[in-house]
């Protein structure tokens, strides 16, 4: 995590010399369960030790927000009652979360904010959810007497994506950022919102991310198309079975998917086929983790990669290449992580194979694409919190 003094020095310099409160929220990894959240399925994320840190302070105005993005060296001021909001994409997260917290009854007024991050942008580690939950945590504390529940902050973050940023995302990233706990993964049932913490200490294995550094932009991307395909399949299944209740693909069986195959077309069929398989894989991984059977966990990760690449079609050449290198090196499990369209692979690798795998991946990737992938060892950290 970043240094509080670094953020504080910028806050003091860019505003009126006074200090505020400092809040932090993490990015996330996800062991398995991809594109299942908006389909009512299960996910298996954990918060990481990298994220966003913000210093914030009420500035005494009715609705003027003065915001400074330390990493971008960019200052934007805007009014909360301006219906259009700011144009800079980073400032829209601040505007959006403030509006959503107001909807929850928090009397948000003008404030100053400076923030910085060490969660890599575009790596599929949810820097945007880290921003939303960090700002929500700060506004709840400064203006809301901390009355807004953790779940409502999660939903406010998701609503910010939907209403102000153009990404029709599920609930996983904001959930992981708010509820994360050091050393634990979490299995979340996205339909009932029940979850459990799973201490994750795979003896003799390591979790490592390889970042292709290929840009990953979900807004206006095929992410929303994937979601539409899934919803279309559910609509067709529901129409065939008026007696049933079909809200998401979670409610649908393999047989029902086959029944509508011809009418929904091959593309939507493939998308839904992946989601049904992924739902089963998350549950299989839970059983395997309880049994300490990491080889099965890894096998399921490879199956997920295959599905994300061939059926859900959210991979890219660089990520498939990294996956192949993992296989060649005897890595236990490897797959694309997050929404896709670039970003990272997550790799479960035996400790004795780690160094050779990383060296080989760097060398082969650089030979083909002209730059090395970035390597992030996963450290599972805590969720949103006030630092001082």
What is the contact surface with ligand GLA in residues (CB under 6 A)? Answer: 34-35, 37-38, 126, 169-170, 172-173, 338-339
Residue 148 C-beta: closest distance to ligand GLA, Å? 21
Nearer to ligand GLA, 130 or 361 (CB): 130
Residue 195 C-beta: closest distance to ligand GLA, Å? 15
Tell me the residue ranges of DSSP E strands in the chain: 21-30, 42-43, 45-58, 64-69, 74-79, 111-117, 184-189, 195-199, 205-211, 333-336, 344-350, 374-377, 385-386
Tokens of 254: 């393999």
Nearer to ligand GLA, 66 or 322 (CB): 322
Nearer to ligand GLA, 151 or 369 (CB): 151
- Distance linking the first and last C-alpha atoms of the chain: 15
Round to whole Å and give the CA distance between 192 and 170. Answer: 14
Residue 58 C-beta: closest distance to ligand GLA, Å? 30
Nearer to ligand GLA, 126 or 332 (CB): 126
Tell me the residue ranges of DSSP E strands in 59-135: 64-69, 74-79, 111-117
Nearer to ligand GLA, 100 or 173 (CB): 173
Nearer to ligand GLA, 76 or 218 (CB): 218
Nearest to 136 by CA among 115, 153, 114: 153
Round to whole Å and give the CA distance between 33 and 187. Answer: 9
Round to whole Å and give the CA distance between 331 and 321. Answer: 14
CA atoms within 13 Å, Cβ hemisphere of 147: 10
Tokens of 140: 């709840």
Torsion, Cα of 248, 249, 253, 257 (10° steps)? 110
Bridge partner residues of 57 (DSSP): 112
Residue 300 C-beta: closest distance to ligand GLA, Å? 15
Residue 34 C-beta: closest distance to ligand GLA, Å? 4
Residue 172 C-beta: closest distance to ligand GLA, Å? 5
Tokens of 381: 């950290």
Residue 338 C-beta: closest distance to ligand GLA, Å? 5
Nearer to ligand GLA, 122 or 373 (CB): 122
Q: Looking at the annotation, which residues are catalytic?
A: 173
Q: Are strands 385-386 and 184-189 parallel, antiparallel or unpaired?
A: unpaired
Name the burial class of residue 243, with classes exposed (0-12), middle (13-18) and buried (19+) by CB atoms within 10 angstroms of its CB: exposed
Tokens of 245: 């209740």
Nearer to ligand GLA, 44 or 357 (CB): 44
Q: Which positions ≥6 away from 158 have C-beta within 8 Å?
A: 169, 170, 171, 174
Strand order in the sheet with 111-117: 74-79, 64-69, 111-117, 45-58, 21-30, 385-386
Residue 28 C-beta: closest distance to ligand GLA, Å? 8
Tokens of 348: 């479960």
């Amino acid at each position: 995590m970043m240094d509080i003094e670094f953020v504080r020095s910028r806050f003091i310099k860019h505003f009126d010399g006074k200090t505020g409160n400092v809040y932090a929220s993490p990015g996330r990894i996800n062991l398995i369960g991809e594109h299942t959240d908006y389909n009512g399925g299960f996910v298996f994320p954990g918060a990481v030790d990298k994220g966003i840190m913000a210093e914030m302070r009420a500035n005494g105005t009715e609705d003027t927000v003065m915001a400074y993005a330390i990493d971008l060296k960019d200052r934007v001021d805007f009014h909360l009652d301006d219906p259009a909001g700011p144009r800079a994409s980073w400032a829209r997260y601040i505007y959006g979360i403030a509006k959503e917290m107001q909807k929850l009854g928090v009397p948000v007024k003008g404030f100053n904010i400076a923030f910085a991050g060490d969660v890599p942008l575009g790596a599929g580690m949810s820097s945007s959810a880290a921003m939303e939950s960090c700002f929500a945590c700060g506004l709840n504390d400064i203006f809301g007497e901390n009355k807004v529940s953790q779940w409502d902050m999660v939903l406010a973050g998701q609503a910010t994506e939907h209403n102000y940023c153009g990404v029709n995302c599920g609930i996983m990233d904001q959930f992981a950022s708010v509820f994360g706990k050091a050393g634990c993964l979490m299995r979340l049932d996205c339909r009932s919102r029940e979850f459990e913490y799973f201490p994750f200490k795979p003896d003799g294995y390591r979790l490592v991310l390889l970042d292709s550094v290929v840009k990953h932009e979900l807004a206006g991307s095929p992410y929303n198309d994937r979601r539409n395909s899934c919803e279309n399949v559910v609509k067709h299944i529901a129409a065939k079975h008026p007696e049933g209740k079909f809200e998401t693909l979670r409610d649908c069986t393999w047989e029902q998917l086959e029944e509508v195959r011809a009418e929904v077309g091959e593309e939507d069929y493939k998308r839904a086929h992946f989601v049904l398989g992924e739902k089963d894989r998350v549950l299989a991984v839970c059983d395997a983790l309880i049994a300490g059977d990491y080889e099965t966990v890894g096998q399921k990760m490879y199956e997920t990669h295959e599905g994300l690449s061939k059926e859900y079609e959210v991979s890219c050449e660089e990520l498939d290449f990294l996956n192949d290198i993992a296989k060649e090196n005897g890595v236990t499990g490897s797959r694309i992580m997050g929404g896709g369209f670039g970003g990272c692979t997550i790799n479960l690798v035996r400790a004795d194979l780690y160094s050779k795998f990383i060296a080989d991946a760097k060398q082969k990737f650089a030979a083909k694409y002209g730059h090395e992938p970035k390597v992030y060892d996963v450290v599972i950290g805590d969720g949103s919190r006030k630092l001082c």
